[in-house]
Amino acid sequence: MGFDLKREFLRLLKEDEEFRYAVMGLLGMSDLKSSVDNLVKAMDELKNVVVKHGEEISELRKTVVILTNSFEELKKVVETLSEDVKKHSEVILIMQSTLEKLTASVTALGFRYGLFTEEAFREAIKYLVSDLLRAYTVKRWTYYDSEGFVFGHPSIIDVDVLIRDNEYVLIEYKALIDRGDVAELAREGMLYEKANKVKPKLLIVGPAIRKRALELARELGVEVRASEVIDR
């Protein structure tokens, strides 16, 4: 009979303990190698996935940077436009206020006294405040009333202020002083106090004042200098 390799192998597995353990070890190493190979393959696949995701994240980051820069540019444009609108609005309000005052002065003065400018009117009644003009410094207070406290809408407040030491006097000149003029000066005084933290005295001056305006002035603590009281 010839040599039977299979039979001899089975005999050695059965009878030779050392041979049996050697074969088991070899089989275990083979399984381990297979497991390691599978693990390496899985790691390679995971690495490829991570690289791909990294590239996608990088592209996304670039997109976010571009969008952020675009937003910042848009924000700057909006801020610039807002400032321009604000400046134009203030200019329009100044022009509107100036026109309203000029129209009112010319109408009132032309109707009653034949005077044609506010400055000429002030010069004509300086005698009513000549003592104050000698003792006080005269300054012009111009303030943007954004809340519309004085006139009920945003407007430019423009009023003379007599100053001496720590004493401040807001003064208004009117051709014919009425209740509305007195109330307006009172509100200007409150706004001046709010803006400058100083409570001013109030003085309204004109050739004539209506009786009802004089009564209101006394109630509100507004000093009046007028040459004539009109009982109507």
What does the pLDDT read at residue 89?
A: 66
Coil, strand, or helix at residue 55? Answer: helix
- Residue 176 parent element (H or E): strand 176-177
What does the pLDDT read at residue 116?
A: 43
What does the pLDDT read at residue 115?
A: 45
Task: Please enumerate in sequence order all residues whose Cβ is within 8 A of that of 206, keeping only pairs 6 or more positions apart, or say none.
Answer: 125, 173, 174, 175, 176, 177, 225, 226
What does the pLDDT read at residue 107?
A: 46
Calpha distance 161→60 (Å, rounded): 63
What does the pLDDT read at residue 139?
A: 92
The pTM of the full predicted model, rounded to 2 decimals, is 0.49
Q: Phi/psi of residue 226, each to 5°?
A: -145, 150
What does the pLDDT read at residue 228?
A: 85
**Distance linking the first and last C-alpha atoms of the chain:** 153
- Residue 103 parent element (H or E): helix 17-112
What does the pLDDT read at residue 94?
A: 65
Q: What is the pLDDT along the chain (232 residues), one digit of tens a residue?
A: 456 776 766 776 677 777 766 666 666 555 545 665 676 677 777 777 777 777 777 787 788 778 777 777 777 777 777 776 677 666 666 655 554 554 444 445 454 544 445 565 666 566 678 788 888 898 999 999 999 999 999 999 999 999 999 899 999 988 889 999 999 999 999 999 999 999 999 999 988 899 999 999 999 999 999 888 988 6
